[in-house]
Structure 1
Amino acid sequence: MKIKNIFAIMLFLISFSFYAQSGKTDEKREKIKAYKVSFLTTELELTSTEAEKFWPIYNAYDDKQFELRHQKMKTYMRKLDDDNINSMSEKDALTLLSQMESTDKELYLLRDKYNTNLKKVLSAKKILKLKKSEDDFNRKLLQQYRDKAAKD
């Protein structure tokens, strides 16, 4: 493993411990985002030209998909507890289902546009590497949560 990879992972793990102690959701999201940027930068080995074009595309996509997933879906999920579903009229259920499907379509179209824009900036290999690196990052983050929960 390269020294810079080891350094990036160590930085991530040390920094994450500070994240775990933070109390505010927006602060936590920003810290995770910063760690993710650091992790992806190391993993993708972007040239300066690639990085200059990649990060605006990535950040715009990440912000929009976060908004769709966490704000709209969060609203839907609150309505989906058993009591609400049982007391909901069929008309309200159809409306909610339609809203959820619309959000799913928005997410799909957003992802499609993102992939189209990425292909203009990165090679197919780097796009695949990006997808793998995002999955790796998410697994590491999940493992951090699990480790922290096991300690508490």
Structure 2
Amino acid sequence: MNIKKLLPILLLLLSFNFYGQHENMKEKKEQIKALKISFLTAELDLTTYEAEKFWPIYNLFDDKQFELRHQKMKSFMRRMNDGSLDQITEKEAKSFLVQIEETEEELFYLRKKFGQNLKGIFSSVKILKLKKAEEDFNRKLLQQYRNKGHKK
């Protein structure tokens, strides 16, 4: 593995001390985003041209995906986590299911449009590498979180 790929991975692994209790969620999200940018840039070996075209599209996609997953599902997740799911009415349950299905459908179309936009920038091989790099990053992030939990 060359140094160009090793450096972001080391940065990723060493930078997870930001899980301190004094930082707020927005700061954590920004730090994760910075690590992700570094990781994806290295994994995809982006040219200057590709980076200029890719990052605005990716950031817009990522922000919209976050909004769909977290903002639209807030009321449902609150209900799931407060223990009142056993007391939910059938009508409320149907409404939540419709909301979940609509959100999943929006996510599907968002991902599809994102893929179409990428075809103007990247080869199909690089699009597949992006998908793998995103999964690898998420897996490493989750592993770091799990390791942090075991140290307590």
Could you tell me which residue of structure 1 aligns to residue 85 of structure 2? 85
Could you tell me which residue of structure 1 aligns to residue 19 of structure 2? 20
Could you tell me which residue of structure 1 aligns to residue 123 of structure 2? 123
Q: For each residue in 1:49-78, what CA deviation from the matched residue of structure 2 results, as whole angstroms up to 9, or x when unmatched? A: 111110011000000001111122232122
- Structure 1 pair 83/42, CA: closer, same or farther in 2 (3 Å)? closer
Q: For each residue in 1:88-116, what CA deviation from the matched residue of structure 2 results, as whole angstroms up to 9, or x when unmatched? A: 22222222211111111111111111111
**Percentage identity across paired residues of the two chains:** 57
Structure 1 distance, partners of 2:53, 2:118, is 9
Could you tell me which residue of structure 2 aligns to residue 110 of structure 1? 110
Partner SS, residue 121 of structure 1:
coil
Partner SS, residue 80 of structure 1:
helix
Could you tell me which residue of structure 1 aligns to residue 60 of structure 2? 60
1:139 aligns with 2:139: yes
Structure 1 distance, partners of 2:147, 2:81, is 29
Using the size of structure 2 for normalisation, the TM-score is: 0.92
Cα drift, residue 83 of structure 1: 4.9
The 5 A counterparts of 1:91-102 are 91-102=91-102
Structure 1 distance, partners of 2:59, 2:108, is 17
Structure 1 distance, partners of 2:94, 2:77, is 15
Structure 1 distance, partners of 2:70, 2:145, is 19
CA RMSD of aligned residues (A): 1.6
Letter in 2 for 1:38: S
The structure in which a higher percent of residues are helix is 1
Deviates more, 1:86-95 or 1:131-140: 86-95
**Unpaired runs of at least 5, structure 2:** none
Partner SS, residue 46 of structure 1:
coil
Structure 2 distance, partners of 1:74, 1:148, is 26
Could you tell me which residue of structure 1 aligns to residue 3 of structure 2? 3
Cα drift, residue 137 of structure 1: 0.6
Could you tell me which residue of structure 1 aligns to residue 43 of structure 2? 43
